[in-house]
Amino acid sequence: MSYGGGYSTTSYGAQGGADGGGFLGGSQGGSQGGAGKGTYGKDTLRPVTIKQVLDATQSHPGDDFKIDDVDITQVSFVGQIRNISTQTTNITYKLDDGTGTVEVKQWVDADTQHTMDIDSGPTKPKLVENEWARVWGKLKAFNNKRHVGAHVIRPVTDKMEITYHLLEATYVHLYFTKGDLGSMKQEANGTAGGVYGQDQSAGYADEASTNDARVRAVSPNARKVYHTLKGTPQSNEGLHVQNIAANSGLQVADVLKAGEELLSHSMIFTTVDDNTWALLEY
């Protein structure tokens, strides 16, 4: 799907299933239409965070869920596996991406599972606790509890995929809440008599004031952690809690508490592990 500004979503290796193919096949609509609503023609795939999954709204039971007031049918997200529970008919994974925790259920077909067990070799990546995974599936609710029915769930082998996905989910969220970012940039550059420098400065000032307002809304320790992350040279993986404590002069316990506050405000995100953080800038 294209979101304007020369950007369109990517599957980032959306391969899986028993046959190793992509999960959106020609029969996808048939498996969705339990209520006879014919969702095949409007199927979408939306990159999301787990918080967006948990905050999704539903007008009536059985209706499609909405995120940013837009219908969603299929979602994709990454998360760290906190628990794996194997049942006769399904495997339930509890995933955490730093914004929330959700259960992911993958139903097991006995014949297919037997074939997969035979075919799987020792070098095939496996889903294990405390490692990251990517999910493609459908958001569902049962007994007032949300879960995702997975079409595909596979290990994340490239940690950059985690950062990529969170940035993509942020971009799509901004598209639906703020509009086409490419058009907005062109409009900003073409106003005020075509004075490019003036318009650019105004755009940066608006962005800075928005970020400043978000930073002012958190506690002093959270602000200190935020500015430490912003001002300390680092790799794409961000900074570990110990490094943040050393650079900010805070105790590790205070850094952890401030990090929880920043995570709850979606101002930072976890990268390679729970104690390594990077800024999530808008």
Domain layout of the chain by residue ranges = 28-163, 194-279
- Give the C-alpha separation, 53 to 34, whole Å: 21
Is the CA virtual torsion 190, 196, 202, 207 positive or negative?
Answer: positive
- Give the C-alpha separation, 89 to 156, whole Å: 25
* Residue 190 main-chain phi, psi, to 5 deg: -105, 5
Strand, helix or coil for residue 168? helix
The CATH H-level superfamily of 28-163 is: Nucleic acid-binding proteins (2.40.50.140)
Residue 143 has a pLDDT of: 81
pTM: 0.53
Q: Which residues pair with 155 in a beta bridge?
A: 133
- Confidence at 111, pLDDT banded by 50, 70, 90: low
Residue 79 has a pLDDT of: 94
| More confident position, 112 or 40 | 112
- Give the C-alpha separation, 131 to 124, whole Å: 15
Supply 185's token pair.
């940039």
The CATH architecture that domain 194-279 belongs to is Orthogonal Bundle (1.10)
The span from the first CA to the last CA of the chain, in angstroms, equals 21
- pLDDT over 80 (residue 264): yes
Query: Which of the given ranges, 120-124, 171-175, 177-181, has the highest pLDDT on average?
Result: 171-175
Q: Which of 199-208, 211-220, 254-263 has the lowest mean pLDDT?
A: 199-208
| More confident position, 215 or 2 | 215
Contacts 24+ apart (CB under 8 A), 160-163: 160/236, 161/12, 161/13, 161/78, 161/134, 162/78, 162/132, 162/271, 162/272, 163/236, 163/271, 163/278
Residues 39 and 64 sit within 8 Å (Cβ to Cβ) = yes
Closest by alpha carbon to 106, among 124, 93, 120?
93
Helix axes 252-264, 241-248, angle to 10 degrees: 110
Is 28-163's fold the same as 194-279's?
no
Residue 58 has a pLDDT of: 84
Q: What pLDDT digit, counting tens, does each position of 125-143 carry?
A: 689 999 999 999 999 988 8
- pLDDT over 70 (residue 222): yes
